[in-house]
Structure 1
Amino acid sequence: MTRSPWFRHLPAALLAIAIMLTIAGLVWRPAMLAAGVASWAAGILLLGRLSRRYRAIVILLAALGAIGIGIGLAHGVTPDWRLALAANQPMISMLAAISFVRLVAPRGRTGDHRAPTGRSAVWQTTMAVHVLGSVINLTALDIIANRIFRKIPLPRAELLVLSRGYSAGAFWSPFWGASAAALTYAPAARLPILMTVGGALALAALTISCLQITRAFGPAVKDFRGYPLTLGALRLPMALVILVVLAHVLLPGVPVTGVIMVCAPALTITLLLVRTPRRATRRLVAHARRSLPAMSGELSMFLSAGLLTAGFAAMLDVVPLDPPVTRFGVPEAWALVLVMVIFSAIGVHPVISLAVAASMLAPLHPDPTLFAMTGLIAWGIQAAGGPLSGLNVVLQSRFRVDTFRIARWNASYVLAILLLAYPTLWMVARWSCGC
């Protein structure tokens, strides 16, 4: 039976409504629950878009969460329905809102005579992937890959340009799902510290990557034509970062996810009205219909993670568990990074690890900035080195390179970042406590 047009577009409409309700929820809490209901409805309608394996994982997580809630109810424990329905709603709506920035992202022109070549091309292209990817997410891969790459499947060196440049954005960018998740489970974390120290880690990671990628090219590096890191490419990302930071300073009581939810669409709409005023509405609607349902993977994972967290919390009320450690300092934070990376290697999404860790460590009242930085580092490492990470699955589908091969190519990088993680966490701990 053919579905009517309104039904096909229903998930997109529900997600658009969820964004608006989440923004309203910043000042009127019940709207956040309504946004969660809208997202759950969209997620159920979009289950058919998921791969069979991914759908099985999502259903299993949701089922475990429902079982935990059921056990809690059987023992007289009232579940936290806000946690079950809308724990990750700010994260979902933030990512959906950011997707609209793609409409005004720089595209560049094929065959630009200013395209850099040689070693400079490796550095400029990797940095361009990082800067654009830190703000407009996976769209950056398409913009740059369509411009400079012609051979499919991509050779090792060229694929590493995309993988390494993009994944380092998790260490600092407030526009990544990593940051949204970290701030969801550690809302008191200090964003300036996360961005500054995480940015330093990202710079170190990009330096290591560019040196390794240049060696991977070998003598062929002199023939590599890359993407120019120009003012035009930097203008939009920098404008959005500055806008968000200023809004966060002026409105410290508003969560960063909420600030981004407002700033990203506002900047997009403003630029559309300036550039193509007659087509602005049509382009916004077309983007919502096309791109919001494409978030089905992230949507379903974050929804199931919230339900799992609620179920786990209910279980802890029935059978209290002592935290596995007695304090959460730098050594424990580094160990948690290692555990999350190991779990990601077997397919456990970092948002799940982060949610469970937050529940188990809650009695210790860990420093929120240190805990958030732990999540950002683990997320960035798994993005590059996890064989089942969202980034590597996208790279496999678009550039026909096996995800396990990508993970193997990034093994030395993963080890390097794990070593850098300890001093990074130490700096966060020192800065956060004012020591």
Structure 2
Amino acid sequence: MTRQLPAALLAAAIALSIAGLAWRPAMLAAGAVTWVAGILLLQRLTRRYRAIVVLLAALGVVGLGIGIAHGVTPDWRLALAANQPMISMLAAISFVRLVAPRGRTGEHKAPTGRSGVWQTTMAVHVLGSVINLTALDIIANRIFRKIPLPRAELMVLSRGYSAGAFWSPFWGASAAALTYAPAAKLPILMAVGAGLALAALSISCVQITRAFGPAVRDFRGYPLTLGALRLPLTLVILVVLAHVLLPSVPVTGIIMVCAPALTITLLVVRTPRRAARRLVAHARRSLPAMSGELSMFLSAGLLTAGFAAMLDVVPLDPPMLRFGVPQAWALVLVMVFLSAVGVHPVISLAVAASMLAPLEPDPTLFAMTGLIAWGIQAAGGPLSGLNVVLQSRFRVDTFRIARWNLSYVFAILVLAYPTLWVVARWSCGATC
């Protein structure tokens, strides 16, 4: 019962969020249902994570209280469902795991040596960009036998996966960026972000090969095949086409529909008698496992509402006069630093959006700023969700992982400036 009720509530929240695309009150109902599930799942969090979530929520409540005391009417929709599309999108994407390629041994010859490093890193990236953390299990279970993982093998997973934040609409990074910059141009974000991801992966593969040393000749990797690419490419094409045909529908909403629809279709075709049973089993097992992301996004929404109420009482001048490329790059630096001391990027993004709102920053430039900072912190933040998962599954200390990725962090920070410049010129021309 402890898992069944939250699972049922989160499944209902997905359905209500989809309905909310056409009827706004349904999104608020989804937010209310998700809050109940989040409260029920608090006990699943670690003590430290639970303390952070409760602190953020408490700060949000204090902000709302200060606003009410001074006659400000809080934005209850913001408090209840600010991040609901993001939460429902991530929950909906989780169902894709049911039809993800498993790469069974013997289907393809394992690539070896330098080619194996490149193919495996790219496979982690492609699969992780769509099915998220499940990709790590699929590939690690296939090729890695030694735990704790050595440095080079751990870097394959960390670097390949984290670069997905730069461009993938299926990541929480993209959902958060589009939540706080809904007018951002997705094609620009995906195109420029993919270019940054390719550069990041190239740097990573060179560094990983060096980390292996002479042992790289013995490395047997994961084959990057058409079968592995088929599902991710299908989903990306579906989302992009739907976005072109229905530009008024939020991208998070499109993914909410496309991911489960494709999953159900493939399940019915492959295993029609077991399809419903597998969907229910997945909901019971995997949706409650989202307790960490769920609680963080809920508390971030409440904090944003409280911060907005406080700004109505005590207006704060923006920390800059305009938001151009230099300011965007500076914001990346600040967000990366804050993530190093444990501040989740969704919190930094929400607060930055509130403080910079008077400047009316170009939404695409602001969104790209968030994507870059999120991708950097995923690999280089000692307390990032990715590194915590890698620690728990592969027994490598998160601070050691962050140290191994330090040169990569600096390299991406350098590349961030020209990336933001390209976005600015493509999106808003000389005005940025």
> Scaled by the length of structure 1, what TM-score is found?
0.98
Structure 1 match to 2:45: 50
Pair 1:276-2:301 in alignment: no
Pair 1:378-2:373 in alignment: yes
Structure 1 match to 2:315: 320
Structure 2 match to 1:395: 390
- Separation in structure 2 between the aligned mates of residue 113 and residue 265 of structure 1, nearest angstrom: 29
1:383 aligned partner, one-letter code = A
Pair 1:243-2:245 in alignment: no
TM superposition shift of 1:109: 1.3
Determine which of 229, 245, 249 is the counterpart of 2:224. 229
- Separation in structure 2 between the aligned mates of residue 222 and residue 109 of structure 1, nearest angstrom: 23
Pair 1:311-2:306 in alignment: yes
Identity %: 89
Pair 1:405-2:400 in alignment: yes
CA deviations over 1:380-407 (Å, ceiling 9, x no partner): 0000000000000000000000000000
Matches within 5 A, 1:151-162: 151-162=146-157
TM superposition shift of 1:67: 0.3
TM superposition shift of 1:434: 4.3
CA deviations over 1:390-432 (Å, ceiling 9, x no partner): 0000000000000000000000000000000000000000000
- Separation in structure 1 between the aligned mates of residue 103 and residue 313 of structure 2, nearest angstrom: 57
- Separation in structure 2 between the aligned mates of residue 383 and residue 395 of structure 1, nearest angstrom: 11
Pair 1:198-2:193 in alignment: yes
Structure 1 match to 2:328: 333
Pair 1:141-2:136 in alignment: yes
TM superposition shift of 1:8: 3.6
Pair 1:116-2:111 in alignment: yes
- Separation in structure 2 between the aligned mates of residue 413 and residue 113 of structure 1, nearest angstrom: 31
Pair 1:259-2:265 in alignment: no
Structure 2 match to 1:286: 281
TM superposition shift of 1:84: 0.2
- 8 A contact 1:248–1:259 mirrored in 2: yes
1:415 aligned partner, one-letter code = F
> Scaled by the length of structure 2, what TM-score is found?
0.99
TM superposition shift of 1:274: 0.3
1:196 aligned partner, one-letter code = A
- Separation in structure 2 between the aligned mates of residue 190 and residue 264 of structure 1, nearest angstrom: 21
- 8 A contact 1:110–1:148 mirrored in 2: no
Structure 2 match to 1:165: 160
TM superposition shift of 1:324: 0.4
Find runs of 4+ consecutive structure 1 residues off by over 6 angstroms: none
2:180 aligned partner, one-letter code = Y
TM superposition shift of 1:215: 0.3
TM superposition shift of 1:223: 0.2
1:303 aligned partner, one-letter code = L
- Separation in structure 2 between the aligned mates of residue 51 and residue 68 of structure 1, nearest angstrom: 26
Pair 1:27-2:29 in alignment: no
- 8 A contact 1:309–1:356 mirrored in 2: yes
Pair 1:68-2:63 in alignment: yes
- Separation in structure 1 between the aligned mates of residue 219 and residue 308 of structure 2, nearest angstrom: 52
Q: Which stretch shifts more, 113-122 or 151-160?
A: 113-122
2:313 aligned partner, one-letter code = V
- Separation in structure 1 between the aligned mates of residue 296 and residue 428 of structure 2, nearest angstrom: 34
CA deviations over 1:256-276 (Å, ceiling 9, x no partner): 000000000000000000000
- Separation in structure 2 between the aligned mates of residue 46 and residue 370 of structure 1, nearest angstrom: 35
- Aligned-residue CA RMSD (Å): 0.7
- Separation in structure 2 between the aligned mates of residue 353 and residue 8 of structure 1, nearest angstrom: 31
- Separation in structure 1 between the aligned mates of residue 104 and residue 362 of structure 2, nearest angstrom: 47
TM superposition shift of 1:232: 0.3
Structure 1 stretches of 5 or more lacking a match?
A: none
- Separation in structure 2 between the aligned mates of residue 109 and residue 277 of structure 1, nearest angstrom: 22
- 8 A contact 2:3–2:285 mirrored in 1: no
TM superposition shift of 1:433: 1.6
- Separation in structure 2 between the aligned mates of residue 310 and residue 273 of structure 1, nearest angstrom: 42
TM superposition shift of 1:111: 5.0
Pair 1:80-2:60 in alignment: no
1:333 aligned partner, one-letter code = A
CA separation of 1:113 and 1:253: change in aligned 2, threshold 3 A: closer
Structure 2 stretches of 5 or more lacking a match?
A: none
Structure 2 match to 1:414: 409
1:310 aligned partner, one-letter code = A
- Separation in structure 2 between the aligned mates of residue 8 and residue 324 of structure 1, nearest angstrom: 44
- Separation in structure 2 between the aligned mates of residue 19 and residue 318 of structure 1, nearest angstrom: 35
Structure 2 match to 1:179: 174
How many residues are paired up? 430
